[in-house]
Amino acid sequence: MSLSRWFRSPRYLLALFLAIMLVLAATLGWLGWRLLEQDRALESQRTQERLDNAADLIAASLLHTFSDTKDQFTRLLASSDPELAARTSALAGQAAGTALLVVFRPQDVDAYPPGRLLYYPFVPTEKEPPAKAFEAGEVSEFQQRDFAKAVEVFRELSHSQDPAIRAGALLRLGRNLRKAQQPRAALEVYNQLAQLGATPIGGLPAELLARDARCVLLDELKRTSEVKGEAATLYADLHNGRWKLARGAYRFYEQEASRWYTADAQLQAHEEDAVATASAVELLWEEWQRIRRGEGAAEGHRSLWIVGRPVLLLWQARSDRLVALVAGPGYLERQWVSPLQPLMDRQGVSLALSDADGHSVLGQLSATPPRQALRSSAETQLPWTLHVVSRDPGAELSQQRNRRLLLLLAFILSAAFVLAGSYSIARAITRELEVVRLQSDFVSAVSHEFRTPLASLRQLSELLADGRVPSEERRQEYYVGLRRAGERLYRLVETLLDFGRMEAGARQYRFELLQTGTFFRGVVEEFAQEARERGYRVEIAQQDHLPCVQADREALARALWNLLDNAVKYSPQSKTVWASAVCQNGQIAMRVTDRGLGIARHEHRQIFKKFVRADSAEAAGAKGTGLGLTMVQHIVAAHGGQVQVDSELGVGSTFTILLPSAKE
Ligand code: ADP
């Protein structure tokens, strides 16, 4: 085939169509992939925007709370001393015991709510009696070692009007009674001393000294359970800030109490919190000294990391006073972050705070969050770095994955649709091409079929017309030849017309009760007569008393004739064909057998389709239209029967018409 013809051929068009469809499917796939990529980028951008937006809102809100607190501090600083105490107390009350407010003055430190500060960075010294007041007693005690005398002197002094002298005397009295081996009397004296409460002795509260001395005494007296009880209450009072102590004193007496009492884990953790707060207050005190020297900023905030805990300091100072908030994570959580909860819920985010050294102040800091918005303290003017992350990144991810999967599925489906569509169109085209080919074969076959009888008609009629027939006998022969050719043409035309009617669904059958044996023999013998002239022999075998069938005589005869004709046509070597009719399983079987070309197994079904011819027939050059078997099958099906083929290539074929026998 030349190139230009090939380009116009249906096969080229088919290839072109398939190529276009393939390109279309590939483009669709590529577009889908691009869309997925874009969707992913868009989604992550959207998430980032949401986080950024939430981070800005949170930062603004926290800053607002900060400036509110600062305003309150400004008002506190401006108020008078009694007012300051009352207001600070009230403010600390609002903090619900989760934070500490401290007020520094040059010679004083106050903490609110009271009893929450373990120890103080500065404890003012109160005026105490001169040491001379106790000189006489101490000479007896230490130089003469006359404890009885010393007891006398100090007992005298213990009735003094001055509580400071009374306290000093009672302490010394107790000590001397102990030395004088009168522990019970000493215990009694310490009890009295304890009544004097915060009265200072050498800068320490009388009560603290008395209770510690009682513990020591009880221990010496081996009154174990009592000493444990006393130590426990001493520990608790120290812990609850009953006295204003400096750090050294607090530590010393806490250790004293711990000699007889061990705090449980919960209390210890609580104490660690309190130690963190107290240490932060100490640092703040140092800061204040700097502020007073003009070195520090009068207003500020800082997030500290003390004993493994975050502490927030927020302060404002004047030359003569400083007000500060000292808060742990609990306060931050309750007072500042909780009000943000609705906002965070709406945005589906959660918040974590970290200090300048990267310690986690609040919330969980994930090492590698899938996506987060960071706001540094430099940006926000807050003491922390804000980390805003999606609350449920897993759910978000799976949502995204699902959407992507859906999109992918849609694309796969459309691509599959395009491919399946193209495949079926291509198949339809191939089939049409095949039909076109078969039809053109059919036309040439039909022309050929017509040509042979027409040629005989022309030849014989010419001879007869010209009077060139030598004898009457020969003339008679020619007439028979003319009749055969006519009949063949008639059958051919009838076949084509019948086929046309069948295709249009307009073929009508006229059923009648047929004597099968008579009918079968009639058709086969008529065919045998014609076949004899073509040099063939037909052997008939027929069962006696065959049941009748309901059939259209003419149609059934044509079907049988077709099979017989094929047997002869496709049996060029073996000149005998066999026809038999039997009754088996209540069915009539009419069989036509030959020892001819045979049909390959894979073509057994195909040959019943219109225009289809077996390769063996084509190879042998046998002519035919490919319509005969189609019609046979149509006719037999209309009779409620079926056609069977049993054939082997090069061996021969048997075609069987099976018909239901008529009920009498
Ligand atoms: P036609 O004989 O006009 O070609 P048919 O529909 O009668 O059309 O038969 C279809 C094809 O089946 C034939 O072309 C032939 O290849 C094959 N065939 C039918 N009968 C026989 C047979 N007895 N032996 C071998 N091949 C046969």
631 within 8 A of 502, measured Cβ to Cβ? yes
Q: What pLDDT is recorded for position 96?
A: 59
Give distance in angstroms: CA of 614 to centre of ligand 1: 7
**Is the Cα torsion angle 550, 555, 557, 563 positive or negative in sign?**
negative
Instruction: Return the H-helix or E-strand segment holding 417.
Output: helix 393-465
Q: How many C-beta neighbours within 10 Å does residue 420 have? A: 10
Ligand 1-lining residues (CB < 6 angstroms): 562, 566-567, 570, 594, 596-599, 607, 613-614, 616-617, 624-630, 653
Q: Which long-range contacts (CB under 8 A, 24 or more apart) does 525-531 make?
A: 527/561, 527/564, 527/565, 530/484, 531/564, 531/568, 531/577
pLDDT exceeds 80 at position 107 = yes
150 within 8 A of 172, measured Cβ to Cβ? yes
Q: What is the mean pLDDT of the chain?
A: 88
- Which residue's alpha carbon is at the smallest distance from atom 16 of ligand 1? 614
- Which residue's alpha carbon is at the smallest distance from atom 3 of ligand 1? 624
- Which residue's alpha carbon is at the smallest distance from atom 25 of ligand 1? 598
Strands 204-205, 200-201: pairing is antiparallel
What distance in Å separates the CA atoms of residue 446 and residue 450, rounded to the nearest whole number?
6
How large is the greatest C-alpha to C-alpha distance in the chain, in angstroms? Answer: 192
Residue range 403-430: mean pLDDT, rounded? 85
Q: DSSP readout, 481-534?
A: HHHHHHHHHHHHHHHHHHHHHHHHT------EEE-HHHHHHHHHHHHHHHHHHT
Nearest atom of ligand 1 to the alpha carbon of 613:
14
Place of tokens 């600062």: 70
Residue range 134-143: mean pLDDT, rounded? 87
- Which residue's alpha carbon is at the smallest distance from atom 2 of ligand 1? 624
Count each helix (H run) and each strand (E run) in the chain, helices first.
20, 18
What are 9's strand-pairing partners?
Answer: none
Q: Which of 550, 552, 554, 557 is nearest to 510 (CA)?
A: 552
- Which residue's alpha carbon is at the smallest distance from atom 19 of ligand 1? 566
Nearest atom of ligand 1 to the alpha carbon of 562:
7
Give distance in angstroms: CA of 650 to centre of ligand 1: 14
Q: DSSP readout, 8-20?
A: HSHHHHHHHHHHH
Helix/strand/coil for 25? helix
**CA-based end-to-end distance of the chain:** 64
Report the residue count for the chain: 664
Q: How many C-beta neighbours within 10 Å does residue 500 have? A: 11
Nearest atom of ligand 1 to the alpha carbon of 592:
23
pLDDT tens-digit readout, 561-608: 999 999 999 999 999 999 999 999 889 999 999 999 999 999 999 999
Q: How many C-beta neighbours within 10 Å does residue 483 have? A: 10
Q: How many C-beta neighbours within 10 Å does residue 388 have? A: 27
pLDDT exceeds 70 at position 34 = yes
Q: What is the dihedral of CA 268, 272, 277, 278, to 10 degrees?
A: 80
pLDDT exceeds 60 at position 548 = yes
498 within 8 A of 507, measured Cβ to Cβ? yes
216 φ, ψ (degrees, to nearest 5)? -60, -45
- Which residue's alpha carbon is at the smallest distance from atom 14 of ligand 1? 613
Beta-strand (E) ranges in 67-115?
99-105, 108-112
* Ligand 1, pocket-test mutation among 441, 566, 625, 631, most atoms within 8 A of CB: 566
What distance in Å separates the CA atoms of residue 410 and residue 396, rounded to the nearest whole number?
21
Both tokens assigned to 11: 């096969």
Half-sphere exposure of 303 (CA within 13 A, CB side): 23
pLDDT exceeds 60 at position 1 = no
Half-sphere exposure of 92 (CA within 13 A, CB side): 24
* Ligand 1, pocket-test mutation among 629, 634, 657, most atoms within 8 A of CB: 629
Least confident of 146-160, 364-378, 448-462: 364-378
Q: Is the peptide bond before 183 cis (omega within 30 degrees of 0)?
A: no
What distance in Å separates the CA atoms of residue 482 and residue 475, rounded to the nearest whole number?
10
Residue range 492-499: mean pLDDT, rounded? 87
What distance in Å separates the CA atoms of residue 480 and residue 388, rounded to the nearest whole number?
109
Place of tokens 């001879």: 463
Residue 584 DSSP class: E
Report pTM: 0.58
pLDDT exceeds 60 at position 5 = yes
pLDDT tens-digit readout, 223-276: 989 999 999 999 989 888 888 898 999 999 999 988 888 878 888 888 888 889
The alpha carbon of residue 140 and the mean position of all alpha carbons in its chain are separated, in whole angstroms, by 90
124 within 8 A of 250, measured Cβ to Cβ? no
pLDDT-derived band at 8, boundaries 50, 70, 90: low
Q: What pLDDT is recorded for position 559?
A: 95
Q: Which of 272, 319, 323 is nearest to 301 (CA)?
A: 323
Burial 322-355 (b: 16+ CB within 10 A, else e): bbbbbbbbebbeebbbeebeeebeebebbbbbbb
Nearest atom of ligand 1 to the alpha carbon of 567:
23
Nearest atom of ligand 1 to the alpha carbon of 614:
16
What distance in Å separates the CA atoms of residue 494 and residue 492, rounded to the nearest whole number?
5
Q: What pLDDT is recorded for position 2?
A: 64
311 within 8 A of 327, measured Cβ to Cβ? yes
Percent of the chain with pLDDT over 90: 35
Q: DSSP readout, 610-644?
A: TT---HHHHHHT----S-HHHHHHHHHHHTT-EEE
Residue type, 505: G
Place of tokens 């259209």: 552
Give distance in angstroms: CA of 509 to centre of ligand 1: 25
365 within 8 A of 351, measured Cβ to Cβ? no
What distance in Å separates the CA atoms of residue 103 and residue 272, rounded to the nearest whole number?
22
Give distance in angstroms: CA of 569 to centre of ligand 1: 8
Residue range 3-25: mean pLDDT, rounded? 77
What are 246's strand-pairing partners?
Answer: 120
Q: Is the peptide bond before 329 cis (omega within 30 degrees of 0)?
A: no
pLDDT-derived band at 334, boundaries 50, 70, 90: confident
The alpha carbon of residue 451 and the mean position of all alpha carbons in its chain are separated, in whole angstroms, by 76
* Ligand 1, pocket-test mutation among 502, 599, 601, most atoms within 8 A of CB: 599
